[in-house]
Amino acid sequence: MLITFKRILKSGWLNFTRDGGIAAATIFILVMAIFLVSSIFLLKEASQFLIGAIKEKVDISVYFKENSSQDDILKLKEEISKIPEVKEVEYISKEMALQNFVEKHKDEPLLMEALKEVGPNPFLASLNIKAWEAGQYGKIVQFFENPSFENLIEKIDYYQRKPIIERLFSLTSFAQKTGILLSIVLMIIATLVIFNTIRLTILNSSEEIKIQRIVGASNWFIRGPFLVQGAISGIFAILICFLIFSLICWILTPKIEILFPGLNLSNLLTKNLKFLIPIQIFTGIGLGVISSLIAIRKYLRI
């Protein structure tokens, strides 16, 4: 049994090295497939990060009248926090609103000059509210439309922000669904390409397979070298792809962080290695072996 296994391994390696052109083509296709799957996985992680960042920035603000007391506002904050649809509530005093504005626009002299012309603090105290889902903001706003809050609330910016909020959440939902669909389609295409490349390799050995059948070789003895060949191609493809992928992440990370602060591809790659490596192994070795297994079935029936 051990001798047979060694012969299969040796024969598989000889098949791999005998035709360098086809072996290189197989590895190239597998590298593309592994790179594709790895990219889809990391793009999914990156898109979730970006979607989460977008959702964190979506909120509504409730502004209070000049004469509203801080105690009344904080009591209202406690009440609104109990609503199940509310994810987070932040109180921003007049002083804090002024400080935030100055910090944000300190490099814009025209705005700073206009602020000085206004005189006293023109900002109103407010509550910034975040919901779990876009459709929940309407219910939260209904809470504030109670007539008992009429003398307390100056305005709610929900209706100005409503189209933007709904658009953002619909875009994030569309992006997630599109990513899943694209992953499935690309995986099917990659599998078909790999299958046909390996089938070409087996076609070149068709006469050898027929001779083995005539002399009484078992199906597994005939099949084994091609499975080994597929596995070797997968291993080489995994190593090449991982090096390319790591290099690309290292090069692109500084550039992407400029556009999307906090999105570090290198850290994302390192953090997800425990998932990414099994995915690459399954894609590289799995597709190589499975495609070989399917492609050789025709010749085993001869």
pTM of the complete model: 0.57
**Residues facing 60 on adjacent strands:** 129
For residue 191, what pLDDT is reported?
67
203 and 251 assigned to the same domain: yes
146 burial (CB, 10 Å; 0-12 / 13-18 / 19+) is: exposed
- How far, in Å, CA of 55 to CA of 171, rounded? 11
d(CA 239, CA 31): 9
| Residue 159 counted as domain residue | no
The pLDDT, as a whole number, for residue 217 is 65
**Residue 202 and residue 124 share a domain:** no
Cα–Cα nearest to 296, from 236, 183, 209: 209
Q: Could you give the CA distance from residue 49 to residue 67 in angstroms, rounded to a whole number?
A: 41
pLDDT of residue 192: 74
State the pLDDT at residue 159: 66
Residue 110 inside a domain? The answer is: yes
* The predicted structure's pLDDT at residue 18: 72
Residues 187 and 287 in one domain: yes
Query: Are 183 and 279 found together in one domain?
Result: yes
DSSP percent split of the chain into helix, strand, coil, nearest 5: 75, 5, 15
Same domain for 112 and 71, yes or no, is yes
User: Which of 151, 185, 201 is a domain's end point?
Assistant: 151
User: Which of 89, 118, 151 is the C-terminal boundary of a domain?
Assistant: 151
> Does a structural domain hold residue 261?
yes
Q: Are residues 107 and 76 in the same domain?
A: yes
Which pLDDT value is given to residue 142?
A: 82
User: Do 48 and 194 share a domain, yes or no?
Assistant: yes
* Conformational region of residue 216, where left means phi above 0, alpha means psi within -120 to 50, and beta covers everything else: left
CA 293/CA 199 separation, integer angstroms: 10
pLDDT value at residue 132? 79
- Residue 98 sits in a domain whose CATH number is 3.30.70
Q: Which of 151, 179, 213 is the last residue of a domain?
A: 151
Residues 195, 114 share a domain: no
Classify residue 105: in a domain, yes or no. Answer: yes
Do 35 and 122 lie in one domain? The reply is no
Task: Give the structural domain span for 111.
Answer: 66-151
Within a domain: residue 189? yes
Q: Give the pLDDT confidence score for residue 95 in this predicted structure.
A: 85
157 inside domain: no
Q: Are 288 and 230 in contact (CB under 8 A)?
A: yes
Q: Are residues 197 and 127 in the same domain?
A: no
pLDDT tens, the chain, 302 aa long: 667 667 767 776 776 777 777 778 778 877 877 787 777 777 777 777 776 666 666 678 888 888 888 888 888 888 888 888 888 888 888 888 888 888 887 777 777 777 777 777 788 888 888 887 767 777 888 888 877 777 888 888 776 666 666 676 676 667 667 766 776 776 677 667 766 766 776 676 667 766 766 666 666 676 777 777 778 888 888 888 888 888 888 888 887 777 667 777 777 778 877 887 887 787 777 777 777 777 676 666 55
Do 124 and 187 share a domain, yes or no?
no
Q: Please tell me whether residues 213 and 266 are part of one structural domain.
A: yes
Number of domains in the chain: 2
In a domain, 60, yes or no: no
Burial letters 83-119, b for 16+ CB under 10 A, else e: eebbeebeebebeebeeebeeeeeeeeeeeeebeeee
